[in-house]
Amino acid sequence: MVQPLSRLKESPSQTAGPYVHIGTTPCHSGLNNVYPVDLGSLPVSAEAGGKRVILTGRVFDGAGSPLKDALIEIWHADANGLYPGRGDRRGDADPHFPGWFRRPVDGDTGVYRFETIKPGPVPFPDGRAMAPHVTFWIVARGINLGLHTRLYFGDEVEANAADPLLLRIEQRRRAETLIARCGKENGVPCYTFDIHLQGDKETVFLDI
């Protein structure tokens, strides 16, 4: 007998636990007989178009200590602002760009690092252009549900000032938590984006 919808209950949440890396990044965990390499772990291929960039940073807890077991996934559009896959009706994305990467943070320093390309602008649902950005998903022990946030590029000042999502954040100081600092690493643009789970510097997280 089908259970009435009025009686359905929310499933209990649970943390990722100590085994999240075994299931998502087995090679990183020392299980080398599952995949040749961990899914999402390779840097963007040389054939992909666009400007190469490095994204790096750390995830901090409420006490200001870096998490050593966090796992991060990123998604973003290609250099022309198109998403890989079949869901983007505006056109076909770069076939050499996967649009998705997954990495655990370094177990000693807590630093994450992605080598990718700088995405192009994509449209907001109402048609306004959003500033180039990268979607982050963070999971670790103690986090019941994966956290979503965005990285915006600090050198896209004009685009960031007009971005529809950033404009919805009433406290401008909070909006700054989504802006990555600009730098260089061996001539390659390097953007530092630290994620704070709690505290005065808490990053803005998105309910998506």
Query: pLDDT (tens digit, 9 = 90+) per residue, 101-151?
Result: 999 999 899 999 999 999 999 999 898 999 999 999 999 877 878 899 999
Which CATH number belongs to the domain containing residue 44 in this structure? Answer: 2.60.130.10
* Tens-place pLDDT, residues 48-86: 999 999 999 999 999 999 999 899 999 999 999 999 876
Q: pLDDT digit string (tens) for 152-201? A: 999 999 999 999 999 999 888 999 999 999 999 999 999 999 999 999 99
**Count of structural domains within the chain:** 1
Contact 82, 91 (CB under 8 A): yes
pTM of the model: 0.87
Residues spanned by the domain of 82:
15-196
Q: Enumerate residues 6+ apart whose C-beta is below 8 A from 46.
A: none
Residue 10 located in a structural domain: no
**Is 110 part of a structural domain of the chain?**
yes
